[in-house]
Amino acid sequence: MIDNKLRRILFVCHGNICRSPMAEFVLKALVKAKGLENLYYIESAAVSTEEIGNPIYPPAKRCLTNHGVLFDAGKRARQVTPDDYDRFDRLICMDSSNLRWLHRVIPDDPQKKLHLLMSYTGRGRDVADPWYTGDFETTFQDILEGCEAMLKLPQ
């Protein structure tokens, strides 16, 4: 049985132009397909300031489009803030480096809200950064696997 409590999810990556917005829109698509969009509030943010205000990276947009995942073309990169810890139930990082950076912004995690996306699959490995690999498809598949696994867990 699903309760009616709103689940507030923040995906986090380095610049908020590739992996975290991909995860944001993949999870939004998955919850919409299950008719659960009224139970989720989903955003994404960056640990760095490098891309603040920039749109989703064009190859990430193409990958989402190729998979039929709708996204907000007006999405702009923003940096995670200490207030996000109180605003969200889970802050989900794409890799261990992002998690280390996030601990600089949010040094304490008494409610155990900080996670790696792939930890939901039973594997705590990183989601490869397509900024460096150019392989957006592998990144998409990792994100899809992580988001699907997260939705299967008791809420």
- What's the rounded Cα separation, in Å, for the pair 71 and 67? 11
**pTM value > 0.75:** yes
155 pLDDT more than 80: no
- 7, β-bridge pairs: 40
124 pLDDT more than 50: yes
| Catalytic, out of 7, 18, 19, 147 | 19
| Catalytic, out of 13, 18, 63, 93 | 13
- The question of whether 7 is a catalytic residue gets the answer no
1 pLDDT more than 50: no
pLDDT at 3: 62
| Catalytic, out of 84, 95, 126, 129 | 129
Burial (Cβ within 10 Å: 0-12, 13-18, ≥19) of residue 35: exposed
- The question of whether 89 is a catalytic residue gets the answer no
- The question of whether 13 is a catalytic residue gets the answer yes
Is the distance from CB of 69 to CB of 35 less than 8 angstroms?
no
